[in-house]
Amino acid sequence: MIIDMKKINAIFSTIGILALLSMFTGCEPQMDSKPDIGAAPTESQLNFSITPQSGSDFNFVIENTSSVVGIPSFDLGNGSKSSDTKVVGYYPLPGEYTVSLTLVTKGGSATTKKKITQTKTDYSIFNDPKFVFLSGGTSAVNGKTWVLDSLAQGHMGVGPAGSTGLSWWSANPLAKQAVKVLYDDFLNFKINGFAATYTNHGKSYVKDFRKNDPAYSNPVLNDADYQVDFTPAPGKWFIETIGGKDYLSLTGTKPMFPIFDTGAKNGKYQILKIEANLLELVCDGGDGNAWHYQLIPQGYVKPKVTFAVDVAKTANVNEYAVKLTNVVIPTGLAITKVNVDFGDGTIKESADYTAIQTNTYMRKGTYNITVTVATTNETLQVSKSVTIDANHPSYVPFLLDMMVVYNDFSEVAMAPVLGQDCNVSIVDNPSKVYPNKSSKVAFYSKTNNEWANAYMQLKSGYRFDLRLQHIFKVMVFGKAGQKILMKLENTDRGGNAWQTGTADLIYTIQKDNTWEVASYDFNGVSAGWDWTGDIFTGNIVADPRFNHDFYNVVRIMCNPGVATGTHQFYLDDLSGPHVEGLKSGKL
């Protein structure tokens, strides 16, 4: 359960004010018997009512009636939890259900329990498709077992609260294959007793904010998240409708979750889709974000569209054609869309999978072609590359000595500015006065990370040209004394891109909360590392290995080398040398 301490403090602050006022207006004698609001509550101070809901044999209204003020949390004993003061519990099968109320106050918490005895059976659940799809129904003595749909795009994902949890990250097929402890886990549901069993072979995969749960031990960083030692315990499941939406609840004495623990609030997962061979969920995670899951029955092999991608040079100069070949579409499936990203900013799309898409490359270079095929049950991707040996005859170099705007965060975006180990977001301009009257700007914020940076990476095949113009500029707005570093890198070496990095250029902000133009002249700046033995220069502008067709990333850091605290500033109008083949504009 996630405790809202602000809410608790507000409640107790209000009580404290009322108590103080009563001192001046005359205290009632019984005030002496009131509990100390700073102390932990006792079980005797807790109470709740259980009332059969009118017109139903299976629904009970459960309401907190405690004599002490606090934040309640109910475990309804039927596989469902709630943090509401008043909740309706559904008990469709005969049995004795233990309902517990935990009340959290400023001083601590206490728990009390009551029982609900159900003697009747709601036979409708045995014909409810949701219950049958999930558990296999009454005929499935051993229940039904589900696994992550690891071959599907978006089998895990995350997005903003209230979304389906796919807009920020949608896991590619087998995206976490290297984790080893994730894709072999499974979750079993039985209709008998609504039993849920999670099997993990001794290790589970959890988000960083979940790794310190008392049930877990030996957390180890593994591909951005954490692998932990964990022995699960049997739990309960239930499906209930709240506000017109269906939710799957998972509860137990230990964490119970669909393979990947993101700290779902009250163990509830909204059911986005449930079918005999598909379970799609989203939950409010412990970080406040929406986390997405897609599961299929264990052993189920989905019918799959298969195809090959043919990339061929045409008779025209620098023109390539892309088409699907050897297409096989199983009965009941269809290809709904084919998207071809040619890697140079050209994207073509068609609902006709037999269509041939062509593109003429204007500049020499190597381009990655990505073909995305959307089918009725999954999205498939295939990538291929082509190398263009020479510029197209009609290509004309563009104003090499001009400075261009890369991103003004309002209208112009040659490429996005993203954050590495920090947050970079587009926000309203905090001061719309000269020299910056833009409506939108970027906001950079890092916490406890010395080399967190905002970066802009050009698309494949494009590089900065420093031969005639070698000054980069960016407008900054922050605190006087903040150091704003800029450097260039080449990503061709992957994780060793740092070996290509330029020496640091640093601008110091002069005034508090004032827009200033930070200028960085790379003429005379060294790059590379002489001890690597293969790439070093004393001046990137004078060296033909570095001054064009090389650098494709610009990085910006606030107070580099400072590893503690939060450091923030605004930036706008990132500009610099011409990028051959691109002008300022949307990509």
Parse the chain into domains and list their residue ranges.
Answer: 5-24+34-39+48-121, 126-297, 306-388, 403-577
Cα–Cα distance between 123 and 132 in angstroms, integer? 12
- The CA distances from residue 530 to 256, 485, 501, 535, in Å, are 53, 22, 12, 7
Report d(CA 388, CA 361) in Å as an integer. 7
Per the listing, tokens 């073509």 go with: 348
Domain 403-577, second-level architecture: Sandwich (2.60)
Query: What is the 8-class DSSP label of residue 464?
Result: B
Chain center to CA of 205: 16
Cα 336 → chain centroid: 27
Residue burial 6-31, b: 16+ Cβ < 10 Å; e: rest: eebeebbeeeeeeeeeeeeeeeeeee
289: amino acid identity, one letter: N
What is the C-alpha separation between 507 and 520, in angstroms, rounded?
Answer: 8
HSE of 122 in the Cβ direction (CA atoms, 13 Å)?
14
Residue showing tokens 């900065």: 464
As averages over each run of 10 residues, the pLDDT of the chain (587 residues) reads 40 38 36 53 94 92 94 88 90 89 92 94 88 94 96 92 94 90 96 93 95 96 94 93 90 95 95 96 96 96 93 97 96 93 89 96 90 90 94 73 84 90 95 84 96 93 91 96 96 85 96 95 88 78 93 97 96 89 54
CA distance 79 to 190: 12
Task: Answer whether 216's CB lies under 8 Å from 230's CB.
Answer: yes
Domains 5-24+34-39+48-121 and 306-388 alike in fold = yes
Q: Enter the tokens of residue 224.
A: 């951005």
Q: What is the pTM of this model?
A: 0.50
5-24+34-39+48-121 has which CATH code? 2.60.40.10
> Any residues with CB less than 8 A from the CB of 422 and at least 6 apart, and which?
444, 445, 446, 447, 449, 452, 453, 454
Query: What span, in angstroms and rounded, lies between the C-alpha atoms of 84 and 562?
Result: 44
Q: Which helix (H) or strand (E) segment is 134 a member of? A: helix 129-135
Q: How far apart are CA 254 and CA 214, in angstroms?
A: 9
Determine phi and psi for 194, rounding to 5 degrees. Answer: 50, 45
- The structure tokens 């133009």 sit at 517
In this structure, are residues 383 and 371 in contact, taking their beta carbons and an 8 Å threshold?
A: yes
R_g over Cα of the chain: 30
Main-chain dihedrals φ then ψ at residue 357, nearest 5 degrees = -105, 135
- Give residue 192's pLDDT: 87
- Taking alpha carbons only, the member of 91, 80, 85 closest to residue 53 is 91
φ, ψ at 523 (rounded to 5°)? -70, 125
Q: Omega before 52 cis (within 30°)?
A: no
The residue whose two tokens read 């877990």 is: 216
User: Rounded to 5 degrees, what are φ and ψ at 22?
Assistant: -65, -25
Contact assessment for residue 115 and residue 98, using Cβ atoms and an 8 Å cutoff: yes
Residue 586 CB neighbour total at 10 angstroms: 8
Q: DSSP label at 345?
A: S
- The sheet with strand 260-261 has its strands ordered as 217-222, 225-229, 203-206, 260-261
Task: Kindly indicate whether the domain formed by 306-388 is annotated with CATH number 2.60.40.10.
Answer: yes
Note the pLDDT of residue 434.
74
The helix/strand/coil state of 13 is helix
126-297: CATH topology? Lipocalin (2.40.128)
User: Beta-strand (E) ranges in 343-477?
Assistant: 347-350, 357-360, 365-375, 379-388, 403-407, 417-420, 423-428, 440-447, 453-457, 471-477
pLDDT at 587: 38
Please answer whether residues 225 and 207 qualify as being in contact, where contact means their C-beta atoms are separated by less than 8 angstroms: yes
Q: Could you give the CA distance from residue 417 to residue 474 in angstroms, rounded to a whole number?
A: 12
Burial of 75 (0-12, 13-18, 19+ CB in 10 A): buried
What's the pLDDT score for residue 30?
38
